[in-house]
Chain A
Amino acid sequence: MKMLVVYEKMGPHRFIGHLDLQRAMQRALRRAGLPVRYSQGFNPHLLLSFAAPLSVGVQGAREVMELPLAREMEEQAFLDRLNAALPEGLKALAARALEEETPPAMARLQAARYTLKPEEGLEALGQALPGFLAQASIPFEKRGKAGVRQADLRPLIHDLQLHGGALHALLALSEQGSARPDQLLASLCEYAGIPRPRCLITRTALLDKRLLPLEQP
């Protein structure tokens, strides 16, 4: 069996880079004495995979990781033991026991929800929003391994609303294409003609193609 774990990465923990987070989670699993599995070979490593890395500075309210287990375990017992080894702000929120054959979370991932709380400029952004979304395409420069290339943000924005003092976005996040929330903010600010404000971004959900959370396969 394998265990899917939903966890948070809030507050100061948003500054931990992905590699550092991987290491921190592996060590927590080891401290907790959970029945983890290791790769073969001379330098075995603990088998653990993450649905999607989070950029440094962005909070995660319901992030997802998965690991194969060496023996069966109750979800609640797993959760309790793991949490005893995790610091505040990096707690596990749910554990789901899954069949080994369930496709990996990473492969099921299609989209993510974000909230963006800009420190200022909310009014201007609200006014710009309808026009921004009405554009047929929103070109931007995407930086990748292969250098800078032109890409279109519009088809990657599934939904974008402003209410309660925050922007709420549903963005594509899959191997076929992803939009970054900071890029969305940059493009929207550019369209609204305002400088980019400081903005706390939180990823609130990771969704599959049915737009259901990954922990409900």
Chain B
Amino acid sequence: MNPEMNQRLEALLETVQRPARYTGGEVNAVKKDWAGRTTFCFAFPDTYEVAMSHLGMKVLYEAVNREDDLLCERAMMPWVDMMAGLKEQGIPLFSLESHRPLRDFDAVGFTLQYEMSYTNILAMLDLGGIPLEGRQRPPEAPFVIAGGPCAFNPEPLAPIIDAFLLGDGETATLEMLRVIGQGRAAGLSREDILVNLAGVPGVYVPSLYEASYHEDGSLAAFTPLMPQAPLPIRKRLELDLDAAAFPQRTPLPFSEAVHDRIVLEIMRGCTRGCRFCQAGMLYRPVRERSPEKLLELAKGLFEATGYEEMSLSSLSTGDYSQLLGLIGSLNACFMDQRVSLSLPSLRIDNQLQEALVDTARVKKSGLTLAPEAGSQRLRDVINKGVTEEDLLRSVTEAFEQGWSSVKLYFMIGLPTETDEDLLGIADLARKVVACYYALPKEKRARGLKVVVSASTFVPKPFTPFQWAAQDSLDDIRRKQALLREALKIRGVTFNWHDPQTSFLEACFARGDRRLAKVLLRAYALGCLLDGWSEHFNYQAWLQAFRDTGLDPALYANRVRGKGELLPWELADIGVTRAFLWREHERALAGQVTPDCRLGCEGCGLRRFDGVCLP
């Protein structure tokens, strides 16, 4: 940024909310010299506070910066006031480290955490001086790459993202950057570099494939345009987490992040097989970091940050094989430094709770339980292996230990759901309240607070419910009203959201490449920051669908047939379609499938040469 522009930026910063979001220069931020390096900007399509809470960004930031030939800087979605100011002042969106516009980088990488951030990607490209569609980008424009959970159905972003990475990014990102850097150094054309990118295992380059559709709107064929374009694309896996890159010097946000603490990823993957859960299928097999490695990482992170809180991250922390030992050694190590350990959303079907009371440094943040469905029948359908008895026991124990607030998470609109299942939610809430009052007055903490949250179910790719229809908006609203009535119970609060956002999520989660037109149109109509309810403009989205001649219900509310080709089947996540279909049928029959640590269920991952549990 030239001095004159810098002046204008300084003046702008004096007028916006939370200017520290945009200044960079945090402790542990890395500023490398650009000369002779392949330059990568990690772009997070949400605000600074959300971005700086995200572990994946910290992992890649450090993994890339550790390499001498590469550098990684950061950029986030500016808030509306800053966005308007940047436009007005003619200042392009810049990276926090070197204050260079996004268009100056060799590669710009977005993490796809949720569908409702897609318009922010467009806004950031636009503000950063990068043409929105791949085919419009001149040779010197950055390669726009993306990864993260939503990259497993990359199609709605196909014309916008040059290359997607499916799966773990620690090593693959470096390989992608080197293909780009070396290709540029050798003077290769943009097209040739894209072909080379397609040669990196786990990388999907959408422009090298073609899709055609049946009359009814479903996908007819999906074909590579050249032999170098693999199909399907097998996801990348980091098999040894102890060897995988993990951040040691994470930049410390000045403006407080949503989760501002040490986060230790103790395990990747989950074997429980909940049928609504996409992460549970995507991140198989289960891989653990050793307690020794974790302790070493924790010490390093504390020394580099001074954080006062630490949390353990995984899909199912209670399943980590050496959890008690790990908690014990972390507590012992950080006793003097007053680092507290917080363990959110513990699974309820283990005895961990008991062990935790002995460790004084574990934060009591209230009990969070996720039964997901209100009746045993429906919990069997979704394979959430939790019984009412388990639940009520955990709750009673928590009350006995002096906790008085319980959060219960449910989904509504699950396949096969009836009103009876819904009323089961109210029933359960009532029983939780009864558990509290069953304790003698002097033994329970004051101020009972039971919060029931019900989100709208969004069927996701690569789950046994990938063929299922989402309930219509009217259905969901009727069900919410029913629950609102039924949950008028003293001590119980009911949280719910209008299902419009979930409806759009459902469209994009299982969308095909035609949806990119809707996305571009919605952005042109002013849609952005859709994840922030005050900015979400549902009518504009509907108009974008109308303007492009696509029917959202085709994506969200349609039951797909067994034989239908699904847009995301370009990816091979290890778990097979046959397994998912079997699970789908078992779901409809109300049959549970046990945790596969108790015996392999044949999900297909074993095809990935011996990568699964012994």
Contacts and interface: CB of A to CB of B under 8 A. Distances in A.
A20 B338 contact: no
Contacts of B368: none
Count chain B CB atoms within 10 A of each CB in A15, A17, A26, A38 and give the residue with the most: A15
Given A20-B254, A20-B256, A27 B306 contact: yes
Contacts of B256: 19-20, 23
Contacts of B26: 87
Contacts of A23: 256
Interface residues of B, number: 27
Contact of A38 (B11, B19, B338): B338
B306 A28 contact: yes
B340 interface: yes
B312 to A, nearest CB: 19
Interface in A184-203: 198
A29 B255 contact: no
B340 A43 contact: yes
Contacts of A89: 25
A28 B307 CA distance: 9
Interface string A23-47: 1101111110000001000111110
B557 interface: no
B475 interface: no
Contacts of B575: none
B303 A15 contact: no
A17 B27 contact: no
B305 A31 contact: yes
Interface string A46-61: 1000000000110000
A27 B254 contact: no
Contacts of A87: 25-27
Contacts of A31: 303-306
Nearest to B364: A42
Given A15-B20, A19-B256, 5 more contacts: A15-B19, A28-B306, A57-B19, A85-B27, A86-B27
A86 B338 CA distance: 20
Count chain B CB atoms within 10 A of each CB in A30, A43, A44, A88 and give the residue with the most: A30
Contact of A26 (B20, B23, B302, B306): B306
Given A27-B307, A30-B308, A44 B20 contact: no
Interface in B4-30: 11, 13-14, 18-20, 23-27
Given A30-B308, A31-B305, A56 B19 contact: yes
B252 interface: yes
Contacts of A85: 27, 306
B20 A16 contact: yes
- The 5 A-B pairs of least Cβ separation, nearest first, read A27-B306, A30-B306, A12-B23, A15-B19, A31-B306
Contact of B306 (A20, A29, A56, A88): A29
11 contacts: A12-B20, A12-B23, A13-B23, A20-B20, A24-B27, A46-B308, A46-B338, A56-B19, A57-B14, A85-B306, A87-B27
A133 B325 CA distance: 70
Given A20-B254, A23-B256, A12 B25 contact: yes
Interface in A123-158: none
Nearest to B307: A27
Nearest to B14: A57
A5 to B, nearest CB: 16
Interface string B19-51: 110011111000000000000000000000000
A121 B604 CA distance: 74
A143 B416 CA distance: 58
A181 to B, nearest CB: 14
A15 B20 CA distance: 5
A15 B252 contact: no
Contact of B255 (A20, A28, A30, A57): A20
A15 B13 contact: yes
A190 B19 CA distance: 27
B405 to A, nearest CB: 16
A44 B336 CA distance: 11
B337 interface: yes
Interface in B293-326: 302-308
Interface string A78-111: 0000000111110000000000000000000000
Contacts of B19: 15, 56-57
B422 to A, nearest CB: 38
A16 B252 CA distance: 13
A28 B28 CA distance: 12
Interface string B386-413: 0000000000000000000000000000
A57 to B, nearest CB: 6
A198 B11 contact: yes
Nearest to B303: A31
Interface in B118-138: none
A28 to B, nearest CB: 6
Count chain A CB atoms within 10 A of each CB in B19, B23, B306, B340 and give the residue with the most: B306
Contacts of B14: 57, 198
Contacts of A42: 364
A28 B308 CA distance: 11
A15 B23 contact: yes
Contacts of A27: 27, 252, 305-308
A16 B11 CA distance: 16
A128 B366 CA distance: 61
